[in-house]
């Protein structure tokens, strides 16, 4: 990837890692729209591979706060959602797939802005895990459904539980992408190129955990990601119209 494209991509990944390290999710919502615009092949495999390092670090940092009961049913749903997302990636044409990815990012941002207090049941956690599997496998942005399900818990428990859930979920999503030949050594090396940005953002999040307005940061990230996702949808649709109608 040319340096002029790589630098803004690195910046987006670092900012996303900072946000996710602080509030528990956000890297894919920030970085995925820009990466789709720069080089669609970076989504989902390379982005997901890079995110694995971030979720593992978050999980380890706050491992004492993981709530495994929250993860159990959600992970069952994640497996089913991963299979559904993988099937969609095989069935959809490339332009429609990119449009769908952009639309899912917009939906994810809107879902995350629209939080209502509630306590999740096993069915809610399973459904959230399923949606996370579909969205995560197709776009690498699988956080919002789980955020909606777990938004009532404390900050450390949320970050730790999401970190554990995403780490395990990414493994199965990458395995599914490998089966359909959408992830291999080339995609892994592309993902590795973003690891320095991941480490930078995560290290900064350690310093900002108690110093930043997390709600303001979360809403700013969601507005940005929603707008970027909309740009992806409109851009993909305009290309399709130019190629098939005009």
The pLDDT tens digits for 30-45 are: 888 788 778 888 988 9
**Of 200, 203, 170, the residue nearest 187 (C-alpha):** 170
Secondary structure of 127-164 in HEC code, one letter for each residue: HHHHHHHHHHHHHCCCHHHHHHHHCCCCHHHHHHHHHH
Q: Read off the pLDDT band of 245 (50, 70, 90).
A: low
Complete DSSP assignment for 91-130: HS-HHHHHHHHHHHHHHHHHHHHS-------HHHHHHHHH
Altogether, the residues listed in the chain come to a count of 246
Is residue 60 scored above 90 in pLDDT?
yes
pLDDT on residue 15? 92
- How many CB atoms lie under 10 A from the CB of residue 132? 32
Quote the pTM value: 0.81
**Of 43, 37, 35, 67, the residue nearest 239 (C-alpha):** 37
DSSP 63: G
Q: Which of 143-147, 159-163, 194-198, 204-208 has the highest mean pLDDT?
A: 194-198
> How does pLDDT run across 96-135, given as a tens digit for each residue?
766 776 677 677 667 666 656 556 678 888 988 998 898 8
Assigned token pair, 112: 């995350």
- What ranges do the domains of the chain cover? 3-244
d(CA 177, CA 184): 9
């Amino acid at each position: 990837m040319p340096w002029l494209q790589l630098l803004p991509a690195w910046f987006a990944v670092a900012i996303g890692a900072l946000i996710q390290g602080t509030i528990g999710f956000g890297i894919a919502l920030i970085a995925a729209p820009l990466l789709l615009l720069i080089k669609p092949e970076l989504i989902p495999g390379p982005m997901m591979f890079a995110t694995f390092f971030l979720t593992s670090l978050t999980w380890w940092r706050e491992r004492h706060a993981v709530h495994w009961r929250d993860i159990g049913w959600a992970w069952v749903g994640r497996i089913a959602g991963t299979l559904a997302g993988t099937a969609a990636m095989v069935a959809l044409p490339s332009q429609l797939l990119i449009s769908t990815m952009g639309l899912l990012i917009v939906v994810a941002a809107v879902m995350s802005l629209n939080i209502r207090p509630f306590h999740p049941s096993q069915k809610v956690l399973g459904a959230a895990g399923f949606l996370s599997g579909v969205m995560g496998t197709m776009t690498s942005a699988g956080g919002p459904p789980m955020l909606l399900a777990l938004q009532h818990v404390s900050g450390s428990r949320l970050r730790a539980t999401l970190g554990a859930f995403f780490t395990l979920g990414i493994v199965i999503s990458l395995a599914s992408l490998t089966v359909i030949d959408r992830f291999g050594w080339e995609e892994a090396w592309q993902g590795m190129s973003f690891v320095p940005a991941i480490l930078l953002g995560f290290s900064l999040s350690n310093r900002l955990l108690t110093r930043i307005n997390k709600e303001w940061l979360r809403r700013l990230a969601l507005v940005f990601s929603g707008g970027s996702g909309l740009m992806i949808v409109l851009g993909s649709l305009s290309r399709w119209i130019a190629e098939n109608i005009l």
